Amino acid sequence: MAVRGEFLYEGKAKKIYATEDPKVLWMYYKDDATAFDGAKKGIINNKGIMNNRVSNLLFRLLEENGVETHLIEPLDERNVLVKKLDMIPVEIVVRNKVAGSLAKRLGIEEGTDLKGTIIELYYKNDELGDPMINEYHAEVMGWATRNELKEMQEKALKINQVLVHFFDSIGIILVDYKLEFGRLDGRVILGDEISPDTCRLWDKESLEKLDKDRFRRNLGKEEEAYMEVVRRIEAKLG
């Protein structure tokens, strides 16, 4: 049984602790909700429990489909053991429909279908608001090598293929989402989480938002939306 050790880091949605094994971290999911680079803050009741459950189930699904992740094992409702990664400070955003910042940036109506999948890169830096970058920025600044960037994008497309099909099977449109990767023994593997916090998820019939946009846009019923995602995923994978 792992023992939670020294507190290492607190992010917007999680706390990270050391364990007795230097290759293993203890991750705790919080209920804190933030938006607009931390400008808006609040609490979504039981969010940490729901995100932990969703992320663990989706990571297991990806592992079964040949995508290596940092997941080791969940400990309880809020705590999970993960492999310690050297995190790459480049976020991958995968877009299947026009929404959010893409709609604003290009002046295209939200919900517009795309002819293919768009992949965007962002520099992970809260103080700068996670600015959009390209491969040249990432390589020249030393955040990732060209090979790592290629591998991250190839993995993102494979993840997208698996997740789009899975969410469609439970009546949800995977609109867009964020992925983070890290290095482990020379490999690039998936880290962080995949949850209603990091994805835009719309009901296939009603187009109701089932994700953190409910918090961002003051739509209310955030806990109910997250729980609906949990319910559908557990019915299929649980």
pLDDT tens sequence across 190-229: 999 999 999 999 999 999 999 999 999 999 999 999 999 9
Q: Tell me how far CA of residue 37 lies from CA of 28, 33, 92, 127, 164, in angstroms.
A: 21, 11, 17, 8, 27
β-strand 113-123 against 132-133: which pairing, if any?
A: antiparallel
Nearest to 202 by CA among 186, 213, 191: 213
Q: In whole angstroms, what separates CA 24 from the centre of its chain?
A: 20
Query: pLDDT tens digits, residue range 165-189?
Result: 999 999 999 999 999 999 999 999 9
pLDDT at 40 over 90: no
Domains of the chain, CATH where assigned: 7-83 (3.30.200.20), 86-237 (3.30.470.20)
User: Sorting pLDDT into bands at 50, 70 and 90, what band is 37?
Assistant: confident
51 CB-near residues (< 8 Å, 6+ apart): 13, 29, 193, 195, 196, 197, 226
Q: What is the pTM of this model?
A: 0.95
Nearest to 224 by CA among 207, 235, 209, 206: 209
pLDDT at 36 over 90: no
Q: And the tokens for 30? A: 């919080």
Tell me the mean pLDDT in the region 103-117: 97
User: Sorting pLDDT into bands at 50, 70 and 90, what band is 132?
Assistant: very high
User: Sorting pLDDT into bands at 50, 70 and 90, what band is 94?
Assistant: very high
Sign of CA dihedral 145, 148, 154, 159: negative
Res 201: pLDDT: 98
Res 1: pLDDT: 74
Res 104: pLDDT: 96
User: Sorting pLDDT into bands at 50, 70 and 90, what band is 149?
Assistant: very high
